């Protein structure tokens, strides 16, 4: 057999050449990466400047503005919604003590207690539910991005209240997959009470993307994490009565059609119900959607009519009271927060376990949807006269036709399904509930009812000024 020709010299040469080439390439890469680095810094700077210039208070001064399906008139002012892409990475700076806080907050104190992740815990309904769960011995961990859709200082005050009861709220966004994954790493949540969302009906015309980001993308991200973890949690989440849209047949029942939403908000909630169906079907997640009807009460939302009517009436300002296009009174099935909290807990208590594991479905899982309303619609005029009574002040009513921009003329819940399945029975009428709201309002904003120094309130809370 002939021996192979000696190629070692040429190979050596080639190796040397390629070494030189690599060296040059590395140099090139090095200098170009320097360039890239500088360019990145420059772009980041420009972005920061653009953001700071564009974002802070796009305060509108006179437009008639949002409210949830509770929208029955009036106006309020909004601050720009902070982009959900600016995720806080609070967990990376957290470390051991952060984990300890998370674990402590989420650990149940009763036998067989739940460990619940409450999204939107800095919000109105989320803060109430968190407290109720904690009080009965469940473990609760909150998640909220504290966005400035309405006065974030109110969210911070709720956070302080929760902190007093040893409920910790992690500051972060639903879309932050790494954060959610981390939370499930630290705590094997048995349940998720998903209440974080972009609420408000008319604001969707100003900032449609915020609805898509939180109510669709954020929900999907949460479900993606929930389907992956072991064990999968059971999920109860907030849909809305707004899914009934332009329906005219009342009361609204769960089997009624929900395919004619009147606002983007409603459309994203309806989308949520369909997405829930998908994740239940493919991954065996147990999911319960709750269609809330105009929830009100202490610690409520400043963008809702009962709240800003109170504020404006105290200031002696005119309030816009809506009429339907055919000059009928707009009415809402106002539901008191304590009743809604009972409904949420009832839904959690009757939620079955999810059936999937390792991201795979093992069998059929529970999929439910319920109305949580009060079953007695009240015309806006009546709302105003109750407030006049409580505030001892005559309202300056400005009656106008309801603009066709998302609100529906009438809501009325049929709650027999929630009653049948978990004994849901609303027990607070509007006058009783509003009395509790006004009492809270006066004390929270430090208004002396006898001396009525309303103007003080708006100096203390500049975020709400001008409304
Ligand atoms: N209050 C009502 O009358 C009513 C009626 C129907 C449906 N709902 C639904 O009930 C839920 C709770 O409503 P609420 O009245 O307490 O509203 P809320 O605005 O007070 O609470 C929602 C909370 O979620 C947070 N949040 C929003 N997007 C987030 C995100 N991407 N990541 C993390 N946190 C985020 C907000 O900062 C806020 O604190 C919402 O889903 C809402 O759509 C409320
Ligand atoms: C209320 O809903 C139930 C089903 O949950 C239905 O059987 C009943 O007919 C409804 N009532 C009215 C008045 O629509």
Residue whose CA is at the smallest distance from ligand 2 atom 13: 251
Pick the CATH number of 90-464 from 3.40.50.1700, 3.30.465.10, 3.40.640.10, 3.40.50.720: 3.40.50.720
- The whole-angstrom distance between residue 26's C-alpha and the CA centroid of its chain comes to 49
CA dihedral 368, 373, 376, 377 (to 10 degrees): -110
Distance from the alpha carbon of residue 362 to the mean position of ligand 2, in angstroms: 33
Is 120 in contact with 97 (CB distance < 8 Å)? no
- 84 Cβ closer than 6 Å to some ligand 1 atom: yes
Residue whose CA is at the smallest distance from ligand 2 atom 9: 253
Distance from the alpha carbon of residue 246 to the mean position of ligand 1, in angstroms: 23
Radius of gyration of the chain measured on its C-alpha atoms? 27
Query: So what's the pLDDT on residue 162?
Result: 98
Catalytic annotation on 265? yes
Q: d(Cα 210, Cα 201) in Å, to the nearest integer?
A: 12
Kindly give the number of the ligand 2 atom that is closest to the alpha carbon of 251: 14
Which one of 149, 203, 211, 265 is the catalytic residue? 265
Residue whose CA is at the smallest distance from ligand 2 atom 4: 417
Query: So what's the pLDDT on residue 79?
Result: 36
Residue whose CA is at the smallest distance from ligand 1 atom 10: 238
Give the number of the ligand closest to the Cα of residue 239: 1
Distance from the alpha carbon of residue 300 to the mean position of ligand 1, in angstroms: 11
Name the pTM for this structure: 0.82
Beta-bridge partner residues of 60: none
**Per this entry, what is the length of the chain?**
467
Report domain extents, the chain: 90-464
Q: d(Cα 288, Cα 92) in Å, to the nearest integer?
A: 32
Give the number of the ligand closest to the Cα of residue 240: 1
Give the number of the ligand closest to the Cα of residue 251: 2
- 292 Cβ closer than 6 Å to some ligand 1 atom: yes
SS3 labels along the chain:
CCCCCCCHHHHHHHHHHHHHHHHHHHHHHHHHHHHHHHHHHHHHHHHHHHHHHHCCCCCCCCCCCCCCCCCCCCCCCCCCCCCCCCCCCHHHHHHHHHHHHHHHHHCCCCCCCCEEEEECCCCHHHHHHHHHHHHCCCEEEEEECCCCCCCHHHHHHHHHHHHHCCCEEEECCCCCHHHHHHHHHHCCCCEEEECCCCCCCHHHHCCHHHHHHHHHHHHHHHHHHHHHCCCCCEEEEEEEHHHHCCCCCCCECCCCCCCCCCCHHHHHHHHHHHHHHHHHHHHCCCEEEEEECCEECCCCCCCCHHHHHHHHHHCCCEEEEEECCCCCECEECCEEHHHHHHHHHHHHHCCCCCCCECCECCCCCCEEEEEECCCCCEEHHHHHHHHHHHHCCCCEEEEEECCCCCCCCECCECCHHHHHHHCCCCCCCHHHHHHHHHHHHHHHCCCCCCCCCHHHHHHHCHHHCCC
Give the number of the ligand closest to the Cα of residue 119: 1
Query: So what's the pLDDT on residue 190?
Result: 98
Residue whose CA is at the smallest distance from ligand 1 atom 44: 292
The whole-number mean pLDDT for each consecutive block of 10 residues of the chain, a chain of 467 residues, reads 42 46 49 59 54 38 38 41 44 75 98 98 99 98 98 98 98 98 98 98 95 98 97 98 95 98 97 98 98 98 98 97 89 98 98 92 96 97 98 96 85 98 98 98 87 42 31
- Helix axis angle, 430-444 to 305-314, nearest 10°: 60
Is 343 in contact with 290 (CB distance < 8 Å)? yes
Closest to 149 measured CA to CA, from 215, 219, 221: 215
- 114 Cβ closer than 6 Å to some ligand 1 atom: no
Residue whose CA is at the smallest distance from ligand 1 atom 26: 196
Place of tokens 């009080």: 135
Query: 318-323 and 396-401 as β-strands: parallel, antiparallel, unpaired?
Result: parallel
Q: What six digits make up the tokens of 322? A: 């809506």
Distance from the alpha carbon of residue 154 to the mean position of ligand 1, in angstroms: 13
Q: d(Cα 70, Cα 31) in Å, to the nearest integer?
A: 59
Please say whether the dihedral angle defined by the alpha carbons of residues 234, 238, 243 and 247, taken in this order, is positive or negative: positive
Closest to 128 measured CA to CA, from 157, 151, 158: 158
- 464 Cβ closer than 6 Å to some ligand 1 atom: no
- 193 Cβ closer than 6 Å to some ligand 1 atom: no
Distance from the alpha carbon of residue 394 to the mean position of ligand 1, in angstroms: 32
Residue whose CA is at the smallest distance from ligand 1 atom 18: 123
Query: So what's the pLDDT on residue 57?
Result: 34
Output the ligand 2 site: residues, CB below 6 A. 251, 253-254, 414, 416-417
């Amino acid at each position: 057999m002939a021996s192979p020709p000696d190629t070692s010299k040429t190979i050596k040469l080639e190796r040397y050449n390629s070494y030189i080439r690599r060296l040059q390439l590395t140099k090139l890469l090095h200098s170009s990466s320097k360039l890239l680095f500088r360019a990145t810094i420059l772009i980041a700077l420009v972005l920061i400047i653009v953001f700071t210039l564009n974002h802070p208070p796009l305060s509108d001064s006179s437009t008639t503005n949002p409210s949830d399906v509770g929208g029955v008139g009036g106006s309020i002012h909004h601050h720009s919604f902070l982009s959900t892409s600016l995720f806080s990475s609070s967990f990376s700076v957290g470390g051991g003590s952060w984990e300890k806080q998370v674990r402590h907050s989420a650990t149940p104190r009763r036998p067989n207690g739940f460990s619940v992740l409450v999204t939107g815990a800095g919000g109105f309904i989320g803060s109430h539910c968190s407290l109720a769960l904690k009080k009965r011995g469940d473990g609760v961990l909150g998640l909220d991005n504290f966005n400035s859709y309405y006065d974030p200082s109110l969210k911070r005050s709720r956070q302080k209240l929760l902190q007093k009861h040893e409920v910790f709220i992690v500051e972060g966004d639903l879309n932050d997959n790494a954060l959610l994954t981390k939370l499930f790493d630290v705590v094997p949540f048995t349940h998720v009470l998903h209440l974080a969302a972009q609420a408000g009906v008319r604001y969707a015309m100003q900032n449609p993307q915020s609805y898509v980001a939180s109510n669709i993308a954020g929900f999907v991200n949460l479900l993606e994490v929930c389907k992956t973890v072991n064990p999968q949690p059971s999920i109860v989440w907030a849909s809305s009565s707004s899914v009934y849209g332009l329906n005219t047949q009342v009361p609204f029942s769960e089997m009624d059609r929900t395919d004619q939403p009147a606002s983007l908000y409603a459309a994203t909630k309806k989308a949520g119900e369909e997405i829930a169906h998908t994740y239940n079907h493919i991954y065996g997640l147990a999911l319960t959607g709750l269609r809330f009807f105009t929830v009100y009460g202490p610690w409520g939302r400043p963008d809702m009519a009962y709240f800003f009517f109170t504020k404006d009436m105290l200031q002696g300002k005119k309030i816009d009271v809506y009429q339907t296009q055919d000059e009928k009174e707009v009415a809402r099935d106002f539901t008191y927060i304590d009743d809604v909290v009972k409904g949420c807990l009832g839904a959690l208590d009757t939620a079955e376990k999810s059936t999937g594991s390792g991201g795979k479905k093992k069998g059929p899982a529970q999929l439910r949807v319920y109305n949580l309303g009060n079953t007695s619609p009240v015309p806006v005029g009546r709302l105003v006269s109750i407030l006049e009574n409580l505030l001892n002040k005559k309202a300056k009513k400005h009656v106008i036709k309801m603009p066709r921009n998302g609100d529906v003329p009438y809501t009325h819940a049929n709650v027999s399904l929630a009653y049948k399945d978990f004994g849901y029975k609303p027990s607070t009428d509007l006058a009783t509930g509003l009395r509790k709201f006004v009492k809270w309002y006066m004390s929270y904003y430090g208004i002396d009812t006898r001396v009525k120094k309303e103007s003080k309130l708006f100096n203390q809370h500049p975020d709400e000024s001008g409304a």
